[in-house]
Amino acid sequence: MSTTPETRFDPSALSEVDKQRLQQALQSDFLPVLLSKGGDVVELPQPVNDLFIEILQAVRRKEAVFLIHEDEAFTTQAAADYMGVSRQFFVRLLEDGKLPFHRVGTHRRVLFKDLIAYRQARSGERRAKLDKMTEELVEADLDAQYVDLTRPDPGRK
């Protein structure tokens, strides 16, 4: 028996009345709070409130919601799926030392927090390269030129 709490919420588990109440809450200026058994009301900090609203919006879109701890270990296939790359490409990233991993027997495992850090670093590098390219275009005075990038229809002759 696992001691890990269920971290998946399926919106289809909600009744229609619950869905309507959540919809009303999203359309209003309600702030979610914690209510103790003794009746004490604790307002949620803004970041927690924002996360709660994001979860409710996902539920409204009928999307399942998962909470993943940052120390959750992913298989190479699950990590590759999350990153949107092939497993072979992902394993190459691991073997090239671009992402830390550990082994469970002969199998590689990657922590979720390391996937997030890699993805953020990669996005930062991409933004920096695009900014540099944009600066070079502006310096070369090519930013005002129009280039038609449409491709001819291969079916036309």
Q: How much is the pLDDT for 6?
A: 62
Every domain range in the chain assigned CATH 1.10.1660: 73-139
Q: Rounded to an integer, what is the distance from CA 25 to the centroid of its chain?
A: 24
Strands (E), the chain: 8-9, 33-35, 41-43, 65-66, 73-75, 102-104, 107-111
- In order of 1, 69, 127, 149, 152, the CA distances from 5 in angstroms are 11, 11, 38, 52, 55
45-53 LR contacts (CB < 8 Å, sep 24+): 53/26
Provide the pairing of β-strand 33-35 with 41-43: antiparallel
Query: Is the Cβ–Cβ distance between 78 and 108 less than 8 Å?
Result: no
Quickly count helices (H) and strands (E) in the chain. Answer: 5, 7
Q: How much is the pLDDT for 98?
A: 95
Which CATH code is given to the segment(s) 73-139? Answer: 1.10.1660
Q: What is the pLDDT along the chain (157 residues), one digit of tens a residue?
A: 445 556 666 677 778 888 788 777 777 777 778 888 998 998 888 888 888 888 888 877 878 788 888 999 999 999 999 999 999 999 999 999 999 999 999 999 999 999 999 999 999 999 999 999 988 888 888 777 777 778 887 776 5
Query: Is the Cβ–Cβ distance between 87 and 76 less than 8 Å?
Result: yes
Q: How much is the pLDDT for 8?
A: 65
